[in-house]
Amino acid sequence: MEKYDITIIGSGPGGYVCAIRAAQLGFKVAIIERYSTLGGTCLNVGCIPSKAWLEASEHYHKLKHQFEDFGIDVKEANVDIAKMNQRVQDVVGEIINGVAYLMKKNKVTVYEGHGSIKDKNTIEIKGEDKTQTIETDKMVIATGSKPASLPNIEIDKKRIISSTEALALKEIPKHLMVVGGGVIGVEIGSVFARLGSKVSIVEYFDGLIYTMDKSVGHQLYRSLRKQDIEFYLEHKVTKTVAADDKVTLTAQNRKDDKEMQLEGDYCLMAIGRKPFTSGLGLENVGVETNEKGQLKVDDNLETNVKGVYAIGDVVRGAMLAHKASEEGVFVAERIAGQKPHINYSLIPNIVYTQPEVAGVGRSEEELKEAGRAIKTGSFPFKANARAKISMDTDGFIKVIADKETDEILGVHMIGPRIADSYTEAVVAMEFRAAAEDIARMSHGHPTFSETFKEACLAATEDRALHI
């Protein structure tokens, strides 16, 4: 029987990164993946394909609606959904192959099959052709999550679909109904709205991306309405019925209990995800879970069973690929006796709509509820030269700082290429910078990043220069 120092169950961004770091630290490492490709949900049916679809649909939308203003005359533009889909799969394939290469490079042994825990040092792997058993000193559970649905609605994967099926559609829906105005709902809704679908988003709360600062949710709502997405906020979905080539959705207005119906050809369930732990054999070792089905872990991400760790979507915290990766590195280094740390308050949330959204630190609502004395500064992209040049003027950057010390406590952004430019805010907050520290730094001109400087100036005695 083969024996390893560390075995990881699950090869998503948490699992494969944990494997690489553990191998770098000199451990003999194995990773178990139940599917034929590495990368988990993120690489195969989540982060990567969704962003590839978003990128493609954004190019098409700009070609249709903005190129003429740039002086570029395009006589006709059409979507070849099959070719677009193929390019998405090509991108996914390249990245998956890259992960496989990294496993070989770092001498990580890959097992294909369903991993099941027999005891805290033994794992059984059931493949298509054979069953194997391996021994391990430590194990890391990184099995990720799967789409959730409402209690009374079954995802049939045909007309009532999850994000997995939505990202593999072979046709552009005539009318896509989306249940949930969180990250998944607004991203996939954006894709098909830009490609020509009628898109209706039904959201239980009174705003979009409800876990983020309310100001960015309000702006995103306004921006997406201009892209012809229709919204039914504060509506509770009570029923969906699929028949042949259509779906009927019934929802109740939470303010007046009035019922309404929508009819479309597809209904996307986008209310979130839930931990995937079925068939893991947790009961064989007594790993404890909480009321959400997440594995209970301590500050070292170790379960109640010594030597059994868990990371990513199966434990508490945001279900984010980059959070899982940080935890993967953390666990490998903890096992090696190092003293790593993760600042969970500085793990950013990102939404890849157009405009893009990102938030890091605490929201204004959270800080006010905590009774913290704060000051805020905001600067709009419509006053930014680079945004005017690129015709991306929707949005703003908001900086929240401590009223007495000026330390930056939260930064909330919505605007062009925010997913890349938010990192300056993370670095600033990691080093506990004051708003004035950023305000006094030179930012290149013309750049989108000047908006962050101006927002910091606005938070520092209302000193913004260009508005």
Write out pLDDT tens, residues 57-103: 999 999 999 999 999 998 888 999 999 999 999 999 999 999 999 99
The whole-number pLDDT of residue 75 equals 80
The whole-number pLDDT of residue 317 equals 96
When pLDDT is cut at 50, 70 and 90, the band that residue 267 belongs to is very high
Judged against a pLDDT cut of 90, whether residue 366 lies above it is answered with yes
The whole-number pLDDT of residue 261 equals 98
Radius of gyration of the chain (CA): 24
Sequence-distant (≥ 6) Cβ neighbours of residue 55 within 8 angstroms:
none
Whether the CB-CB separation of 441 and 448 falls below 8 Å is answered with no
Give the CATH number for residue 251: 3.50.50.60
Judged against a pLDDT cut of 90, whether residue 130 lies above it is answered with yes
Query: Does any domain span residue 341?
Result: no
Q: Judge whether 99 is annotated as a binding position.
A: no
Q: Judge whether 319 is annotated as a binding position.
A: yes
In this structure, what token pair is assigned to residue 42? 């993120």
Q: Judge whether 390 is annotated as a binding position.
A: no
Question: 3-state DSSP helix/strand/coil percent for the chain, to nearest 5?
Answer: 35, 25, 40
At 269 the three-state DSSP class reads: strand
For every residue of 340-407, DSSP letters joined together read ----GGG--EEE-SSSEEEEEE--HHHHHHTT--EEEEEEEGGG-HHHHHHT----EEEEEEETTT-B
Query: Does any domain span residue 466?
Result: no
Query: Does any domain span residue 447?
Result: yes
Q: Judge whether 312 is annotated as a binding position.
A: no
Sequence-distant (≥ 6) Cβ neighbours of residue 136 within 8 angstroms:
3, 4, 5, 6, 7, 30, 121, 122, 123
Asked which of 271, 289, 305 is the last residue of a domain, the reply is: 271
Residue 257 domain boundaries:
160-271
Q: Judge whether 186 is annotated as a binding position.
A: yes
Sign, CA dihedral 371-411-453-466, equals negative
Active-site hit among 65, 218, 445, 466: 445
Q: Judge whether 260 is annotated as a binding position.
A: no
Query: Does any domain span residue 155?
Result: no
Nearest to 397 by CA among 405, 385, 382, 406: 382
Judged against a pLDDT cut of 90, whether residue 307 lies above it is answered with yes
Q: How many domains does the chain have?
A: 3
Query: Does any domain span residue 345?
Result: no
Cite the DSSP H helix spans in 106-211: 163-166, 183-194
Q: Is 466 a catalytic residue?
A: no
Rounded CA separation 175/189 (Å): 10
Sequence letter at residue 1: M
Q: What is the mean pLDDT of the chain?
A: 97
Query: Does any domain span residue 342?
Result: no
Q: List the strands of the sheet with 259-264, edge to edge.
A: 235-243, 246-253, 259-264
Q: Do both 287 and 371 map to the same domain?
A: no
| Location of structure tokens 């952004």 | 413
Query: Does any domain span residue 400?
Result: yes
| Location of structure tokens 């959070």 | 323
When pLDDT is cut at 50, 70 and 90, the band that residue 466 belongs to is very high
When pLDDT is cut at 50, 70 and 90, the band that residue 431 belongs to is very high
Q: Look at 70-79, 206-215, 289-298 and tell me which has the smallest mean pLDDT.
A: 70-79
